[in-house]
Structure 1
Amino acid sequence: MSDPHFEQQYLDLMARIWRGGDERVDRTGVGTRAVFGTQLRCSLADNAVPLLTTKRVYWKTAAREMLWFLTGETNIRPLVLQGVKIWNEWPHARYVAETGDDLPLDEFVQRIADDEGFADRWGDLGPVYGKQWVDWPTYRYRADGLYEKGEGINQVAKVIESLRTNPGSRRHIIEGWNVAEVGRMALPPCHKSYQFHVGGGGTTLDCVLYQRSCDVALGLPFNLFGAALLTRMIAQQTDLEPGELVWMGGDTHLYLNHAHLIEEQLGREPRGRPALEITRRPASIFDYRIEDFAVADYDPHPPIKAPVAV
């Protein structure tokens, strides 16, 4: 008898929320059904990757986003120029609210691509994810009683160094929730805390991702792949074998206007076991390219479209 398919955990979670979650009005006004305190576990051994098959997940989009995080960039223009659309709605909503110009989303995005000055003004998301990961701000107290900005902290580099030099540490953490800067972010970090653990007698790398808020239908498929990819890259850079990814959710929800997606996806059966290969080992975690990643044995069901709640 073969091992249970990882994806069944995801489908069971989706069914549990949809059929028994608390229904309430949320920040977006769309409404959700939610449960609190959830967990999924997935082995990353033998190139296994938690890539959903009951609908197509555009894994290259998730990989490009992860590489964008690692640059520390906070403007959507580099993503737009690669055809990545997942962050477009937030700066567009800000533009419409602040200017009163009801510019259609597709025209806004085209201006971001064509006009670097427009992108500088309207394409920035504030100090989101990557900024905190690789340039967490610090401040120094000066003799005149004022504060000045100090050198930023590269959490990713520090975690890799600590995994190499002190693998038994319980402090291998990348944190995105900077309380002082949350108010300046277009969207406070949902996948906020990554903790890494060296197991297997010092041979394997595990990761726990804690996500404070999770859109299970649209966000979680990307979050799972992104976390697996990050773990795989860090494992390669630290000469460890991929171990287990443990995903933990706080407010874990489905949007009420995603009913068609949910019912259709729950009626599908997982198929195949996708594998992720990293084809090159660059000099550092910050030097990977999209061409370094290859996914094999991925034959998913068709995609299911649904609106993003902003």
Structure 2
Amino acid sequence: MKAYLDLVRSIFEQGSWQDNRTGVRTLSLPGACLRFDLQEGFPAVTTKRLAFKSVVGELVGFLRATDSAAGFRALGCRVWDQNANENAAWLQSPWRDGPDDLGPVYGVQWRQWPAYKLLPVSATERVRDAQQRGYRQVGVVEEHGVPHVLLYKAVDQLRACLDALIHNPGSRRILFHGWNCAQIEEMALPPCHLLYQFLANQQTRELSLCLYIRSNDVGLGTPFNLAEGAVLTHLVARLTGFKPRWFTYFIGDAHIYETHVDMLREQLQREPYPAPTLVLSDRIPAYAQTGRYEPEWLEQVEPADFTLQGYRHHAPLTAPMAV
């Protein structure tokens, strides 16, 4: 994880102090990139302990489209508790549906993206084509004085990525995202890691992931998100017959909270250990071995299906999360 520590140094050396919505200043650097070869090891931070059980608990929650902090807690992940129940703006929001509610966060967008089409009633061919693609009519509305049919379907973006890796792996359109302008006000926290693109090498049967993060808390969020993205790459590769390879991590606003400075300066004094290895449970089917495409395992995996082998780390370090 030398690349991670180099990023921390760059922010300390080149960042500037900024105010933000949390009330806790950040030392911020616009534009950053980290790249890891997953065949050389798993990108787990070693200069402190990575909360790996929480990482995989959150990922499994996303895969199941969980929208409640209680659902994440049941999977061993408590990182959503504060955003659900201590975020002042969210507590006052008319969209909040009681304790632990998060709104349509990450996994809901990944697995149940709300897609609409507004078509003139007279466009019968287009309406028919949309219905054949799974859209259903939910109403008729006037648009510029002309009656239009309103159609809707929930799109499983992640499943569509797996389908494409099986049937059209050369595509450069195998991606999903979580930024939904129409629903931002309905969420406890708008998505930070928002665009995932899978790229398959058909000759070597290697799968790579590019992940774009619009805003990243480098002290707490980056190690967590790196691990989560790498686990997802391994899982998708297993289910589609590829080997995980490159994981490239782009950050828009890379920042260190003022309350995290001491924790990160301590990490810079520590020598990183070698990267561990991620092990997936044998119960998760490997398409390369079985020849059977079983995407339903996106919902069937459990946190215990993922373990780190040979993970050595320095003493744990803690810092408060800015909400």
Letter in 2 for 1:308: M
* TM-score normalised by L of structure 2: 0.83
Identity fraction in percent:
36
**Matched residue, 1:165:** 167
Q: CA RMSD in A?
A: 1.9
Question: Is there any run of 5+ residues in structure 1 with no aligned partner, and where?
Answer: 1-6, 100-118
Question: How far does residue 144 in structure 1 lie from its aligned partner after superposition?
Answer: 4.7
Q: Are residues 1:133 and 2:110 paired?
A: yes
Q: How does 1:1-310 map to 2 (within 5 A)?
A: 7-45=1-39, 48-94=41-87, 98=91, 121-141=98-118, 142-145=139-142, 150-199=152-201, 201=203, 203-280=205-282, 281-282=284-285, 283=294, 284-310=297-323
Question: Relative to total residues, which structure has the larger strand share, 1 or 2?
Answer: 2
Question: How far does residue 253 in structure 1 lie from its aligned partner after superposition?
Answer: 0.3
1:111-142 Cα deviation digits (max 9, x unpaired): xxxxxxxx962211111100000000023543
SS at match of 2:247: strand
Equivalent pair of 1:95/1:122 in contact (CA under 8 Å):
no
Equivalent pair of 2:65/2:110 in contact (CA under 8 Å):
yes
Q: Aligned partners of 1:84, 1:97: CA distance in 2, in Å?
A: 20
Q: Aligned partners of 2:89, 2:46: CA distance in 1, in Å?
A: 36
Structure 1 pair 120/28, CA: closer, same or farther in 2 (3 Å)?
Answer: closer
Q: Aligned partners of 2:211, 2:89: CA distance in 1, in Å?
A: 34
Letter in 1 for 2:42: V
Q: Aligned partners of 1:14, 1:23: CA distance in 2, in Å?
A: 14
Computing the radius of gyration from Cα coordinates, the structure with the larger value is: 2
Equivalent pair of 2:141/2:150 in contact (CA under 8 Å):
no
Equivalent pair of 1:75/1:120 in contact (CA under 8 Å):
no
Q: Aligned partners of 2:177, 2:243: CA distance in 1, in Å?
A: 23
**Matched residues, number:** 284
Equivalent pair of 1:45/1:242 in contact (CA under 8 Å):
yes
Higher mean Cα deviation, 197-206 or 123-132? 197-206
* TM-score normalised by L of structure 1: 0.86
Equivalent pair of 2:26/2:258 in contact (CA under 8 Å):
yes
SS at match of 1:233: helix
Question: How far does residue 85 in structure 1 lie from its aligned partner after superposition?
Answer: 1.4
Structure 1 pair 147/92, CA: closer, same or farther in 2 (3 Å)?
Answer: farther
- After superposing on structure 2, the runs of 4+ consecutive aligned residues of structure 1 that deviate more than 3 Å are 94-99, 140-149
SS at match of 1:38: strand
Question: How far does residue 292 in structure 1 lie from its aligned partner after superposition?
Answer: 1.4
